[in-house]
Amino acid sequence: MRTKSTKQNKINVVTLGCSKNIYDSEVLMGQLKANGKNVVHEDEHDDGNIVVINTCGFIGKAKEESVDTILHYAQRKEAGEVDKVFVTGCLSERYKPDLEKEIPNVDQYFGTHDLPNLLKVLEADYKHELLGERLTTTPKHYAYLKIAEGCDRPCSFCAIPLMRGKHKSTPIEEIIIEAEKLAAKGIKEVMLIAQDLTYYGLDIYKKRALAQLLEALVKVEGLEWIRLHYAFPTGFPMDVLEVMKRQPKVCNYLDIPLQHINTELLKSMKRGTTHEKTTALIKKFREVVPNMAIRTTLIVGYPGETEERFQELKDWVEEMRFERLGAFEYSHEENTSAYALEDDVPADVKFRRVNEIMEVQSQISWELNQQKVGKTFKCIFDRKDGEYFYGRTEFDSPDVDNDVLVSAIDHYIKIGEFINIEIFEAGDFDLYGKPV
């Protein structure tokens, strides 16, 4: 690979999108490092002469951000500041022919299952023996652990199966090897991720095996917190709750996107559930693991979401009082089955509905947080920023949930260590405390 600069190539990997993309970038960088390459992640100097952009192609806003990033580096290449630009990930998987035509100044576009070919153009060989080895980009005490790729679900609004393919579980033995390597590096907390975590095992073990995987993971020495992300409501494996209740290492935390609650819309979304079944499921969670923190994600403005159906959703959010909740505007995605429907909710109405849901949620979050004042929680701290150390309880996942703030003027806290914190004040999304 001929590059203008005579000095050693420096490969800058830029990641957009979700934690699964972060994971894939980490695997790519692990391979490059093992091939002796000088590789960095989102280098603050941004002086890599070779850039690999791992894109997101999920919804409108994310796609725009990916295109802008590609254009940014293509222009820098034009200006001679960068020698090579390679693009991989979901946007590239989904729109390769269009991108090749629209932004031809990129050296090569790759799909989501193309790692060996991408490595080849970077003059590196794919090393099978590197199972479970990657260059993590998260703080040294936590890491994402991808247990499966792809998705077999037919959700009408979702383009992920188009970009990630069919569900493919990673065998338990391989996940344990990876977890042991992470723990040996000092990782104490792992976020289990997949497109659909609860589908785990159905392909390779012909049964839902998430509970079995958790029972194996809790035996990994050094791991203290195991967190569950991206569960699916229909066919939820209840044995997971029993493990969560019994095993202190499994955080009493579950991220389960529910998308909506109106039965007609859930039917149109092909979610395989109803208002009643979803409500019963959440109530069952609270019955089996009473102090569980439930995070969910909702879509507003889906085709056919009348004011009445939106009101049903809003009332339900008030009733269910989720500990953590995010809401997003429906994005009309071509080649999804919902694309055949009329995108009949105007953009300003979508925008208003997201804000209305988040207003309700911030009030709920504030009220729930008041109940934490005066209580002590085991916390781990991720960073120091200005006058505060920022940490989390077991009920908070990095970057998306509440922060626990401790004054750095009055206290010193070791980043990445567990410590008990007494909460003395609470806001809608932040808790203030001191070490005890």
Task: Work out the burial of residue 414: count CB atoms within 10 Å of its CB; fewer than 13 is exposed, 13-18 middle, 19 or more buried.
Answer: exposed
Please give the DSSP secondary-structure letter assigned to residue 431. Answer: E
- Closer CB to ligand SF4, residue 58 or residue 285? 58
Rounded CA separation 26/40 (Å): 10
Rg (CA), the chain: 22
Interface mask toward ligand SF4 for 351-390; x: CB under 6 A: ----------------------------------------
Instruction: Indicate whether 326 belongs to the interface with ligand SF4 (CB under 6 A).
Output: no
196 binds ligand SF4 (CB under 6 A): yes
Separation of alpha carbons 340 and 57, rounded Å: 19
Least CB distance from residue 164 to ligand SF4, whole Å? Answer: 7
Does residue 172 belong to the site contacting ligand SF4 (CB under 6 A)? Answer: no
Mention every residue, 6+ apart, whose C-beta is less than 8 A from residue 244.
214, 228, 250, 251, 252, 254, 289, 292
How many residues can be counted in the chain?
A: 436
Among 113, 153, 275, 411, the residue binding ligand SF4 under the rule CB under 6 A is 153
Applying CB under 6 A, does 212 fall inside the site for ligand SF4?
no
- Select from 151-159, 183-191, 208-216, 383-391 the region that touches ligand SF4 (CB under 6 A): 151-159
CB of 324 to ligand SF4, least distance (A): 18
The yes or no reply on residue 151 touching ligand SF4 (CB under 6 A) is yes
The nearest distance, CB 161 to ligand SF4, in angstroms, is 5
**Residue 232 within binding range of ligand SF4, rule CB under 6 A:** yes
| String of contacts with ligand SF4 for each residue 246-285, x by CB under 6 A | ----------------------------------------
As measured in angstroms, the least distance from the Cβ of 296 to ligand SF4 is 13
Selection from 175, 181, 186 nearest residue 214 by Cα: 175
Q: Which DSSP string corresponds to 143-191? A: EEEE-EE------TT--HHHHH-S-EEPPHHHHHHHHHHHHHTT--EEE
Q: Which of 276, 354, 263 is nearest to 309 (CA)?
A: 263
Q: Which residues are at the interface with ligand SF4 (CB under 6 A)? A: 151, 153, 155, 158, 160-161, 195-196, 232
